[in-house]
Chain A
Amino acid sequence: MEAIIPKVPEVLVALASFVVLFALLSKFAFPPVTKMLDERAEKIRESLEKAEETRVEAERLLEEYRVQMAEARTEAAKVIDQGRTVAENMKNEIIAKAREEAEAEKVKAIEAIQAEKTAAMSELQASVADLSVAVAGKIIGQKLSAADHAALIERSIAEVGSLNEK
């Protein structure tokens, strides 16, 4: 029974020590600790907010870069297409010009050949006429009158001309 009855000195010491300890801890010990805990919590909260802001900014930049990249790709494709079209046009122009030049050269060559041919024919006709007269004279052993000459030449020329036409 004695053990469960509080003793006066214990009550006094327990009371005094508690009051003094409460005064000491609440004045000197708890404030710096709770202040540091609050500061740290605030710092962590700020850091988390900053990290979140940075993440959002990074995502925004990434999206911006993605858009820019897409635009750049489109632009590049457009430039390539334009280049291809220009090159195609240039190719066609060059080919057309080459064809024209080749055609002109061909025409020129045909004309030259034709002129050469005409000249050659004229020369040939003259030679053939002379030769025919000479040959005919030798064959028939007589001299032909001027009128015969002319008739003969005309006929030969006509024959040579018909040959040429064939």
Chain B
Amino acid sequence: MENMGHMVEELLHELSVLPLFSEHVGTFTLTNYTFFLLIAFTVTVVFFAVATRRISLVPKGIGNVVEAGVSFVRDGLCVDILGSENGRKYFPFIGTIFFFVLFNNLIGLVPGALPGTGTIGVTVTWGVIVFLVYNTIGIKKNGFFRYMKSFVPSGTPIFLMPLIFLLEIVSHFLRPITLGIRLYANMYAGHIMLGIFTILVAISLEHLSPGSAVTGGLAFAMRIVMHGFEVFVAVLQAYIFSILTTVYINGALHASEH
């Protein structure tokens, strides 16, 4: 049991932000997470570089995959929520979010790797980018004062206006944080769970007995099932991050209609 506690501690240490080539995390230090983030970046660039060369009127192989992905995000997400014109206009931004988050999440499922999205620094940064982008869109589309005015729904009693405005402002400022924490927490928790089942299997193998064989077998089966489930979570979280971004942009575009 003591051994397990030690292993869990080790797992948590491995999943914490660690500098790769130095003792401490400085301003320009490469960490374990940013290392895999850059790998995910490279994989994303290579994937699109290869896939865009293979697209044709009758797609095949990787061309099919990239077209299905782009079509899913552009038509099934952007155009559906923002309409044809705005959907196509903002697709590059939303598409970049979707594919970058997806590739980071999936890279983290390769044994020994970590997801770039498994650290709050990365996910909240992207949340802030989304926050800045959708507010800029809202201000450009409606003008600063009309956009600010949209924070108070029409028909609100005058004495409640300051409170509602404040609440809206707070809720807007919470959006990048909730976006970031949701993604980070899902990825981080998923990896802890996979790590725990791996530790259980390891301990069962270490102290081999009929009882531990059963426990180990179950833990191994759960490890496999959870790995499959994490693939689903990886796609789902990329989708959630993208759909929320799209919804925020849509809200900003139609702010003056509220």
Contact = CB atoms under 8 A, between A and B. Distances in A.
A43 B58 CA distance: 11
A30 B25 contact: no
Nearest to B99: A25
A7 B121 contact: yes
A33 B27 contact: no
Contacts of A12: 27-28
Nearest to A36: B55
B67 A10 contact: no
Contact of B91 (A10, A11, A17, A30): A30
B120 A34 contact: no
A10 B119 contact: yes
Contact of A25 (B57, B88, B92): B92
Task: In the A-B complex, list the 7 residue pairs whose CB atoms are closest, starting with the nearest.
Answer: A10-B121, A26-B92, A6-B121, A29-B48, A14-B125, A14-B122, A13-B34
B26 to A, nearest CB: 7
A68 to B, nearest CB: 41
Given A9-B25, A9-B121, A34-B70, 16 more contacts: A3-B17, A7-B17, A8-B27, A9-B26, A9-B28, A9-B34, A10-B121, A11-B121, A12-B28, A14-B123, A15-B125, A17-B38, A18-B100, A18-B125, A20-B41, A21-B41
Nearest to B96: A22
Contact of A33 (B17, B45, B70): B70
Do most interface residues of chain A lie in helix, strand or loop, or is the interface mixed?
Answer: helix
A7 B122 CA distance: 9
A103 B34 CA distance: 129
Contacts of B96: 18, 21-22, 25-26
B122 A13 contact: yes
B232 interface: no
A58 B35 CA distance: 64
Contacts of B48: 24-25, 28-29
Contacts of B26: 9
B57 A30 contact: no
B93 A6 contact: no
Contact of A14 (B52, B59, B71, B126): B126
